[in-house]
A and B are shown apart, each in its own frame.
Chain A
Amino acid sequence: MLLKTSLRSFFAHKGRMALSLIAVVLSVAFVSGTLVFSNTATATFDKLFATTASDISVRQAVPEANDDEQGGDGERGKPRTVPVETEQKIAALPGVKSVRGEVSVQNAVLTNPLTNKVVGPTSGAPTITGSWHDNQNMLKITSGKAPAGTGQIMLDADTAKKAGLGIGSKLRAITANGDHDFTISGIATFQTTNPGAALAFMDLPTAQNYLLGKTALSSVEVTGDGSKSNGELKAAALATLGDGYKVLTAEEQKAEGKADMGFLDYMKYAMLGFAGISLLVGGFLIINTFSMLVAQRTREIGLLRAIGGSRSQVNRSVLIEALILGVLGSTLGLLAGIGLAIGLIQLMKATGMNLSSADLEIGASVPIASYAVGVVITVLAAWIPARRASRISPMAALRDHGTPAEARANRIRAAIGVLLTAGGAALLAAAAGASTASSGGQLLGLGVVLSLVGLVVIGPLLSTSVIRVLGAALPALFGPSGKLAQRNATRNPRRTGATAAALMIGLALVTGASVVTSSMVSSANEQIDQSVGADYVVASRTNADLTPAMVTAAQGTQGLKHLTLQKSLPVEYLTPDGKRSKEHLAAATKTFVDDFRIPVESGSAQAAFEVGGVAVGSEFAKEHSLRTGDRITADYGQGHTQQLTVGLIIKANSDMFQGTFANLETVTKAVPVAEQPADKAMFAVVADGADPAKVLAALEDSLKAYPQLMITDKAGYKEIIQSQVNTLLYMVYGLLGLAIVVAVLGVVNTLALSVVERTREIGLLRAIGLSRRQLRRMIRLESVVIAIFGALLGTGLGLAWGITSQQVLADSGVALLTVPVTTIVVILLASAVIGLLAALLPAFRAGRMNVLAAIATD
């Protein structure tokens, strides 16, 4: 019986349910879409790494600091190599079936000598150049033949197609050992998913000669005969080879490969963020929908109680309706999510990663998560209204009034709300004043949550007073419609509060994010202005290093006052407190101090760039109680160590000067030039009296053979930072869009119900002469007032969050607070527009209402 009533009532209110349904569908779609996509990607890459991994792989060991960021070789420093004899040594081990020495580097850049353009990806996925061997299952030669001899190279089909190259085309490889032109002898096609990388192959001697510059190997790949486990093989290999080697089992190689796919995780978290937002906002929508349904049915429920329905029956009947909504929404959301995943896969294809939508991995986790999220959220959100429904007394059936008693915000709620909000504010204040970024971050997180919950709780109370102020001008501006709208907006504070809260959440997030990002940009710009003295920065677009040929070419440019060279080394410091800590050391020629004004806490840049000096960050100095003049030991690995004197402690508010800095000459004392990594960047200053434009042209001309290089001036640097921030902002705006869509549904919902609830009132107004136009205006104004109220709360909260975040990040490079006034004004105006849009349908329906039917007495 109960189920039947619930079902009937559900379908009787399908219009209202549809709005809530959309919210559920949206959130579930994001959850299931994310899971399907990441499952598919993981499965595909697992397959890829499984086909490429050998049983064990023997490589050169490097200091750990080099390993912490990127497993790939060539990212920093020189390509790792093992001597060729390693191959024989391993082959002799028991349990080894076959061994193969390989060359593979990521620091070679491929260009098309005819167009002088980079071949292969310039960001994200790597360009891998190495030795070709037939016996592999990742690639197959699909046209031409394997490279043989010094002039031949083979390219993967996807890259060749993108670059418009074919067999016989010229391809240039630019490495630390010079530039070499090759002829494409063959094209190989991926047999598995191409993760977007470019691959080029030479024969082994050619690869050794050009890519490594010596007869060595990047790695020795070992296949066992099955008599020993990979772990045993690894142990045996390590025992035979001794120090200086790293051996990875197939499992470890897979893990390494997966670490390179970290951006997929970012995508996953971003999408789950979207899901979270729509869930949160959707939750409010569901609470509101069910509250209204319950309010509307007060008499009906009273009757049910009067004829003997129990409280729990009433409660259950509401929850069953929510359950129906949840199941329906989850099912639709699940389907929409699979569609979303397919869309994402297509999107990834466009960026060069060939995931196949035919291999869609859905698995059991996706429907489980979808239904869990959709149903649980819906039922939870309906919980409060259901409880309220069960409290309706049988007397309600007898009461004459069609309109339900208007909910008044009570005192306990007020007290809790004020307490939470005040607590949130106090936490935010504490976060802003926190001494370290990490403790500030924790306080900030807690403060954000508390202030959000607090405002949601006191939203209804605030609505009364804020809307009274907001709406004060309405009667004067819009006459009776304005007056009625103002009163209507405050008559059900709980409903107004919940509706506005849905809007508030999205806007608070966006406002907060835009305060932080604009502060980041302005702080970075200020830092560039203050710290950068160099006119031009030359660095590679890809993750390859600069080559000696490039440095020579740049040094020959006319009109340069000087050219500073900088390289980056992994280092481990032994400090007087006895601790060892891994750091990066930027080693630069002495003119570095003219190119950059490093903010000083104590000491001087000059002292740090004396031979034997070093500059360290203030956090590092604090952690190890260092002062200028203290001596620390630097360990560069391979037995190279040296004593350094702290000449400068860098002020802590700088994002630009991370890690430690020293003169290149200092490092050369410990690490022979031949073992030093290649240069990472060059900084140029124009000679006094020279025309900067001419010098720039000359510099560009000297480096024109290297399209992978980017010559940036200060303005260009600022643009790069702006564009990096923009990527973040676009995501934030995406979130905003979604939050607004769901919030608009909420406003529509609230207004539609208000119109239905006030049928008789509207009839009365029309009878005594309110025109349709005035009536519609009244509803629109009510909507706008609610929307602006939500927007005010949202931007206020967002400002508090944003400003606090900036304070917390002040020592991490976001020293300058910039409030994006335009954005905030746009948000407020947009919210008014949102209000107007949301009111369109309810206002239209109210206008069409039959006066007579509305006032007819029953």
Chain B
Amino acid sequence: MTTAASAVKDQQLSGGPEAPAAAARQVTKAYGAGETRVTALDAVDVDIHRGRFTAIMGPSGSGKSTLMHCLAGLDTVSEGRIWIGDTEITGLKDRQLTKLRRDKIGFIFQSFNLLPTLNALENITLPMDIAGRKPDAAWLDTVVSTVGLADRLKHRPTQLSGGQQQRVAVARALAARPEIIFGDEPTGNLDSRSGSEVLTFLRRSVDELGQTIVMVTHDPVAASYADRVLFLADGRLVDEMHAPTADSVLERMRRFDGKRTS
């Protein structure tokens, strides 16, 4: 199943334009021990291509969120190694992981993305604030206008609609120019219109701004915005699809359901 061969890993990790933005090798994540041992990820190998929009799909309990959390350095792995760019993150201490997340990673969560005490602009610049960096004004303008929030910057999150809140979250993830953005069901809480707005922005940020994005979703329509879809089942990477459409993804997902019911 693994399309990215281990053989090319070393070469890829030496950097260069073709190097993956993130890579996982033989990543296993297990909870508990002995008879109660549950394997969430089972020897997963994956490369996330730079400047591409990757979706991770799979039925509930397939390990898709766990994979994302491990790739993003939020969770630790039981076995295996993970790289973000050319930095190996497995084995890093909390402080180094924090710094890595701050400097190289952007996040968009399903809900509760924004601090209620900060206005939209402050939320967008928060990661740079935390890092003690000055935001690049021109880039910030670009990002803000891309997500279409220029007139909402002084609003508090409670004064924004769900879709607007997620767009602010996208802008925050983009503003710091991270090497990679992870989205955990970023449209999961939105109606389809707001959802497509947010996905369009993500798509545009990949096309126009050259951003690398990894998104976990269970929605075939959301997945169809990606360049490539990875399918997970029972903690294993079972398939992948390039240039997906909603229909083809739905079709592929149905096969999981069929397998489960049979």
- Enumerate chain A interface residues (CB-CB to B < 8 A): 400, 402-403, 406, 479-480, 483-484, 487-488, 490-491, 760-761, 764-772, 774, 851-852, 855, 857
Other contacts beyond A766-B98, A857-B109: 16, CB < 8 A: A402-B112, A479-B129, A479-B130, A483-B118, A483-B122, A491-B117, A761-B112, A761-B116, A764-B109, A764-B112, A765-B126, A767-B107, A769-B102, A769-B105, A771-B99, A855-B74
CB contacts (< 8 Å) of B172 on chain A: these are 768
Closest-by-CB residue of A relative to B100 is A769
Pairwise interchain contact B129-A480, C-beta atoms closer than 8 A: yes
Q: A480-B126, A488-B117, A774-B130 are in contact. Are A768 and B75 (CB under 8 A)?
A: no
Residues on the B chain within 8 Å of A406, using CB? 116
Q: Is the CB of A857 within 8 A of B184?
A: yes
CA distance in complex: A487, B123 (Å): 13
Q: Which residue of B lies closest to A761 (CB)?
A: B115
Using A484-B117, A764-B115 as known contacts, say yes or no to A771 and B132 having CB atoms under 8 A apart.
no
List of B residues within 8 angstroms of A852 by Cβ: 69, 74-75
Closest 5 interchain pairs by CB?
A769-B102, A487-B117, A480-B129, A857-B110, A771-B98
Q: Do the beta carbons of B110 and A403 come within 8 Å of each other?
A: no
CA distance A771 to B111 in the complex (A): 22
Q: A403-B116, A760-B112, A769-B99 are in contact. Are A851 and B126 (CB under 8 A)?
A: no
CB distance A767 to B74 under 8 Å? yes
**Can you report 21 residue pairs joining A to B where beta carbons are below 8 Å apart?**
A400-B189, A483-B129, A487-B118, A491-B116, A491-B117, A760-B112, A761-B112, A764-B109, A764-B113, A764-B115, A765-B115, A765-B130, A767-B101, A768-B102, A769-B101, A769-B102, A770-B102, A851-B74, A852-B75, A857-B109, A857-B184
Closest to A406 in B: B116
User: In the bound complex, how far is the Cα of B70 from the Cα of A778, in angstroms?
Assistant: 27
Question: Does B47 interact with chain A (Cβ within 8 Å)?
Answer: no
Chain B residues 71 to 110 lying within 8 A of chain A, measured CB to CB, are: 72, 74-75, 94-95, 98-99, 101-103, 105-107, 109-110
Closest to A405 in B: B158
**How distant is the Cα of A484 from the Cα of B116 in the complex, in angstroms?**
10
Closest residue of B by beta carbon distance from A767: B107
Q: Do residues B98 and A857 form an inter-chain contact, with CB atoms below 8 A?
A: no
B127 touches A769 (CB 8 A): yes
Bound-state Cα–Cα, A491 to B74, Å: 28
Q: Is the CB of A771 within 8 A of B95?
A: yes
> Could you tell me the distance in whole angstroms from the C-beta of B126 to the nearest C-beta in chain A?
7
A770: chain B residues within 8 A (beta carbon): 98, 102, 130
Interface centre among B106, B129, B185 (most CB of A within 10 A): B129
Q: Which residues of chain B are within 8 angstroms of A855 by Cβ–Cβ distance?
A: 74, 109, 112
B30 within 8 Å of A (CB atoms): no
- In the bound complex, CA of A765 to CA of B172 (Å): 12
B5 at interface by CB-CB < 8 Å: no
For A403, A480, A768, A851, which residue has the most chain B Cβ atoms within 10 angstroms?
A: A768
B160 in the interface (beta carbon within 8 A): no
* In contact, B129 and A772 (Cβ under 8 angstroms): no
> Once the chains bind, are B111 and A857 in contact (CB under 8 Å)?
yes
Residues of the A chain whose Cβ atoms lie less than 8 Å from the Cβ of B109:
764, 767, 855, 857
Q: Which of B103, B113, B118, B188 contacts A769 (CB 8 A)?
A: B103
**Residue B246 at the chain A interface, CB threshold 8 Å:** no
**Contact A772-B98, Cβ < 8 Å, known A487-B118, A767-B74:** yes
C-alpha gap A852/B189 in the complex (Å): 19
Q: Is the CB–CB distance between B111 and A769 below 8 Å?
A: no
Quick one: closest A residue to B118, CB to CB?
A: A487
Would B117 and A769 count as touching, CB distance under 8 A?
no
Main secondary structure, interface of B, reads mixed
Q: Is the interface of A mostly helix, strand, loop or mixed?
A: helix
- Interchain CB contact under 8 A, B112 and A769: no
In the complex, chain A residues whose CB is within 8 Å of the CB of B238 = none
Q: Is the CB of A479 within 8 A of B132?
A: yes
Taking the nearest CB of chain A, how far is it from the CB of B72, in angstroms? 8
Closest Cβ–Cβ distance, residue A89 to chain B (whole Å)? 91
Chain A residues positioned under 8 Å from B189 (CB to CB) = 400
Which of B75, B112, B118 gathers the greatest number of chain A CB atoms within 10 Å?
B112
B38 within 8 A of A: no
- Asked whether, in the complex, the Cβ of A769 is within 8 Å of the Cβ of B115, the reply is no
Closest residue of chain B to A774 (Cβ to Cβ) is B130
Q: In the complex, A603 Cα to B117 Cα: how many Å?
A: 71
Q: Is the CB of B131 within 8 A of A769?
A: yes
Task: Report the separation of the CA atoms of residues A766 and B113 in the bound assembly, to the nearest whole angstrom.
Answer: 12
Shortest beta-carbon distance from A708 to chain B in Å = 69
Contact assessment for A768 and B112 in the assembled complex, using a CB-CB cutoff below 8 Å: no
Chain A's nearest CB lies how many Å from the CB of B4? 26
**Chain A residues near B126 (CB-CB < 8 A):** 480, 765, 768
Instruction: Give chain B residues whose Cβ lies under 8 Å from the Cβ of A768.
Output: 101-102, 106-107, 126-127, 130, 172
Which chain A residues border B188 with CB–CB below 8 Å?
Answer: 857
Expressed in whole angstroms, the Cα–Cα distance for A766 and B130 within the complex equals: 10
Give the chain B neighbours of A761 by CB distance below 8 A: 112, 115-116
Q: How far is the CA of A263 from the CA of B6 in the complex (A)?
A: 89
B114 CB, nearest partner CB in chain A, Å = 8
- Which A residue sits closest to B111, measured CB to CB? A857
Chain B residue with Cβ nearest A490: B117
Return B111 CB to nearest CB of chain A, in Å. Answer: 6
In angstroms, Cα B172 to Cα A94, docked, is 106
Per the bound structure, the CA–CA distance linking A761 and B126 in Å amounts to 13
**Chain A residues closer than 8 Å to B110, beta-carbon distance:** 857
B113 contacts across to A, CB distance below 8 A: 764
Give every chain A residue within 8 A of B107 (Cβ-Cβ): 764, 767-768
> Residue of A at shortest CB range from B122?
A483
Are A480 and B130 within 8 A (Cβ)?
A: yes
> CA A490 – CA B117 in complex, angstroms?
9
- A489 to B, closest residue via Cβ: B117
> Among B94, B101, B118, which residue has its beta carbon within 8 angstroms of that of A772?
B94
Q: Is the CB of A769 within 8 A of B98?
A: yes
A769 and B130 contacting across the interface, CB-CB below 8 Å: yes
* Bound-state Cα–Cα, A488 to B117, Å: 7
- CB-nearest residue of chain B to A480: B129
**A769–B95 Cα gap in the complex (Å)?**
9
Residues of B with C-beta under 8 A to A480: 126, 129-130
In the assembly, what is the distance between CA of A553 and CA of B243, in Å? 118
Interface string of B220-258 (1 = CB under 8 A from A): 000000000000000000000000000000000000000
A7 and B177 alpha carbons, distance in the complex (Å): 52
Q: How far is the CB of B62 from chain A (nearest CB, A)?
A: 16
Q: How far is the CA of A91 from the CA of B40 in the complex (A)?
A: 107
Distance in angstroms between the alpha carbons of A774 and B102 in the assembled complex: 13
Q: Which residue of B has the minimal Cβ distance to A759? A: B112
Q: In the bound complex, what is the Cα–Cα distance between A403 and B74 (angstroms)?
A: 23
Instruction: Determine which residue in A761, A769, A772, A852 has the highest number of CB atoms from chain B within 10 A of its CB, and name it.
Output: A769
Asked if B130 and A857 make an inter-chain contact with CB atoms under 8 angstroms apart, the answer reads no
Contacts of B117 in A (CB 8 A): 484, 487-488, 490-491
Q: Which of the listed residues B74, B106, B132 has the most CB atoms from chain A within 10 Å of its own CB?
A: B74
